[in-house]
Amino acid sequence: AVLMCRGKATQDFKGPDCRFVNFKKGEAVYVYYKLIGKSTELWAGSVGSDFGYFPKDLLEINHNYSNEELELPTDVSLVIF
């Protein structure tokens, strides 16, 4: 997966089921996929070692990686600042 951008959660989020990732306000969120089509409000990414969907409106983007096309192994815990 290509890491697209990093953001900071603007509020707490608890998803409705296991496909979603939960986070607390201020946590770093790493975005891998921006969904297109019906689910344009959802992005997929990781918080710590958890991966899942979350509403894009809850993220304040503070770094874009997409121009760098940064590739990361999926089994590495992502702590990049």
Judged by DSSP in three states, 29 sits in strand
Task: Determine the structural domain holding residue 50 and report its residue range.
Answer: 5-67
Question: What is the H or E stretch that residue 60 is in?
Answer: strand 59-64
The tens digit of pLDDT for each residue in 55-66 reads 999 999 998 876
Q: Please report the pLDDT score of residue 40 as a whole number.
A: 67
pLDDT of residue 81: 37
Inside any domain, residue 75: no
Q: CA–CA separation, 28 vs 19, rounded Å?
A: 19
pTM for the full predicted model: 0.73
23 domain-assigned? yes
**What three-state secondary structure class fits 61?**
strand
CATH code of the domain covering residue 23:
2.30.30.40
Contact between 32 and 3 (Cβ < 8 Å): yes
Between residues 2 and 50, the one the model is more confident about: 50
Tell me: the pLDDT tens digits for 32-47?
Answer: 988 777 766 899 999 9
* Domain contains 62: yes
Q: Is residue 39 in some structural domain?
A: yes
Number of domains in the chain: 1
